[in-house]
Amino acid sequence: MKTLKTLGQSLIIGFAVYPIIFLGVVALIALQVFAEQMHISSDTIPLLYALVFAVLTIALVELLNIASVVLVLTASATLIEYAQILIPGRSASAVDFVASLAGVICAAVLVWLAHSFAARNRRD
């Protein structure tokens, strides 16, 4: 029962920070448009996705717990790719989704390690 309550709270908080995620999506679109105008190779666009999702993860972990952030941003990455199916001239990309997910996971692991290291130093 406690797990369901915690999950429910995480989802509510996730929806509360959805405007921040929306800004991240806008940033991704702007980065892709910028990359196309600067004739940046399309191979580097997934790196931009990973970077934006990593920054969002680090920013949101301070507001939420790591599990909530990973859940919300993974759902966001899925929705972004699904939405691209519905936009004429766009298509979903498994590579972009994996890059976004990699950014979330790498940043979450780094934040977790930093928090663990800080907690260990406080105990000593």
Q: Would you state the structure tokens that stand for residue 40, as one six-digit string?
A: 């940046």
Q: What is the pLDDT along the chain (124 residues), one digit of tens a residue?
A: 666 666 676 666 666 666 666 666 676 667 667 767 777 666 667 777 788 788 878 887 877 778 888 888 888 888 878 877 777 777 778 888 888 888 889 888 888 888 888 888 877 6
Domain ranges of the chain: 2-123
Angle of helix 66-86 versus helix 94-123 axis, rounded to 10? 170
Instruction: Give the model's pLDDT for residue 21.
Output: 62
C-alpha span between 12 and 15 (Å, rounded): 5
pTM metric for this prediction: 0.64
For 15, half-sphere exposure in the C-beta direction (CA atoms, 13 angstrom radius) is 5
Q: Which of 104, 82, 106 is nearest to 94 (CA)?
A: 82
